[in-house]
């Protein structure tokens, strides 16, 4: 039994030089609606072709990644969706989007969730997603086309349940991590 976690391709969404936190809220909404602009590397294509069951999140960048792989998802589920970032409504401070995203994600890991899903809730969702992927793996090799943070959280839950991976899930676009059920 094998579970492949793959991060979506590069979204067709630009990064402005500097923006306010309020403008970042709009930027994040647009990012969540964006499709993928690049093609998968050969390695990702070869790995994806091994899958017998393909699942994805409901976000457009994950769905369009499956299309770029030349495949069709058997199902899409918000359970696999990325964890939203808690945005603080600051109007005066302008920073590069990557700085805002890193700062807010760090705050989220430290316990601040504002109006978005908490770390504790996301961890429970990742556990539920891992359980669902394990159940699907009984039908054959599973490919999840998902997202950076949630894929890492799912990977952690798979390892807790004894699954072994060749490497840990990465945040690079089109990256893969392959997990195998323990033989014992």
Q: Which tens digit of pLDDT belongs to each residue from 38-52?
A: 999 999 999 999 999
Residue 97 pLDDT > 80: yes
What pLDDT sits at residue 169? Answer: 65
Q: What is the dihedral of CA 76, 78, 79, 82, to 10 degrees?
A: 110
Among 101, 116, 102, residue whose Cα is nearest residue 27: 101
pLDDT digits (tens, 9 = 90+) for 68-80: 999 999 999 999 9
pLDDT at 144: 97
**pLDDT tens digits, one per residue of 115-164:** 899 999 999 999 999 999 999 999 999 999 999 999 999 999 999 999 99
- SS3 of 123, please? helix
Alpha-helix residue ranges (DSSP H) falling in 112-165: 119-136, 148-160
Percent of the chain with pLDDT over 70: 97
Task: Write down the domain spans for the chain.
Answer: 2-180
- Angle subtended at Cα 59 by Cα 162 and Cα 150, rounded to the nearest 5 degrees: 25
Report pLDDT for 17: 82
pLDDT at 27 (0 to 100) = 86
C-alpha span between 2 and 143 (Å, rounded)? 9
CATH top class, domain 2-180: alpha beta
Decide: 122 and 150 in contact? Cβ < 8 Å.
Answer: yes
Closest CA to 174 of 47, 24, 27: 47
Q: How many other β-carbons are positioned within 10 Å of the β-carbon of residue 157?
A: 20
pTM over 0.75: yes
Q: Which residues pair with 144 in a beta bridge?
A: 5, 55
CA distance linking residue 144 with residue 153, whole number of Å: 13
């Amino acid at each position: 039994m094998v579970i492949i976690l793959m991060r979506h391709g590069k979204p067709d969404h630009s990064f402005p030089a500097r923006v306010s936190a309020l403008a970042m809220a709009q930027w994040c909404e647009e990012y969540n609606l964006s499709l993928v602009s690049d093609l998968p590397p050969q390695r990702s294509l070869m790995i994806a072709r091994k899958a017998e069951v393909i699942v994805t999140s409901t976000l457009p960048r994950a769905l369009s990644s499956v299309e770029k792989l030349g495949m069709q998802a058997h199902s899409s589920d918000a359970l696999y969706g990325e964890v939203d970032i808690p945005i603080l409504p600051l109007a005066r401070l302008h920073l590069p989007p990557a700085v805002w995203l890193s700062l807010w994600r760090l705050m989220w890991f430290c316990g601040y969730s504002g109006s978005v899903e908490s770390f504790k809730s996301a961890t429970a969702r990742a556990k539920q997603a891992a359980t669902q992927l394990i159940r699907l793996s009984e039908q054959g090799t599973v490919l999840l086309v998902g997202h950076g943070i949630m894929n890492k959280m799912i990977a952690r839950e798979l390892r807790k349940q004894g699954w072994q991976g060749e490497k840990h899930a990465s945040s690079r676009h089109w990256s893969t991590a392959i997990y195998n059920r323990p033989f014992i």
